[in-house]
Amino acid sequence: MAGNQVAILLISHVETLAEGARELLQQANPEVGVYACGGLDGGEIGTSVDRIEAIVKEIDPEDAILIFYDIGSAKMNAEMVQEMYEGRNIAICNAPLIEGGYVATVTAGLGTSSLAKVKREAEEGYSKEG
């Protein structure tokens, strides 16, 4: 993928949950960089700054990153990584992993959407009753 895109990073306490969510979102647009970070080493439940950091390093430095999280420590760990990589364009999205992530993937796939726009669309754009 060329740089200057918005990549989607999904953080969950469970590896298979993050992977499953990634699979679902990737189907919405295979061109968008969708990354999954789930669980701890050894398949245990939890989230880890190290693992999140490793994925951030994998993503093209020119790309912005929009992070989705599930519960508890996932958001705090996402914020820690965001602070560690101040020079990078990283935002944390306060929308549900699946519904919000789906809207974000579609919006990011339009190619011209900024990080702020993708985040806004995801936070405002989904509705359980839609």
Partner 1 sequence: MNNEQAAQWMRQTAEKLVEHKDELSKLDQFVGDGDHGVNMERGFRAVVENLDDWKDLSLSQLMQKIGSALVSNVGGAAGPLYGTAFMRLGTAWTDVDQVDGPAWMSGMAKAVEGIAQRGKAQAGDGTLLDVWSPVAAILDENEPDWKKIEDAAQTGMEETESMVVKKGRGALLGEKSVGHLDPGAVSSFYLFQALAKTMDEGEG
Residue ranges in contact with partner 1 by CB under 8 A: 40, 44-50, 71-73, 76-77, 79-80
* Rounded CA separation 7/50 (Å): 19
* Residue 86 among the catalytic residues: no
- Comparing CB distances to partner 1, the nearer of 43 and 61 is 43
Nearer to partner 1, 50 or 124 (CB): 50
The residues near 20 (Cβ < 8 Å, ≥ 6 apart) are none
Q: How far is the CB of 128 from partner 1 (least distance, A)?
A: 19
- Selected catalytic residue, list 8, 9, 13, 77: 13
Dihedral angle at the C-alpha atoms of 126, 116, 109, 21, nearest 10 degrees?
-50
- Please identify every residue annotated as catalytic: 13
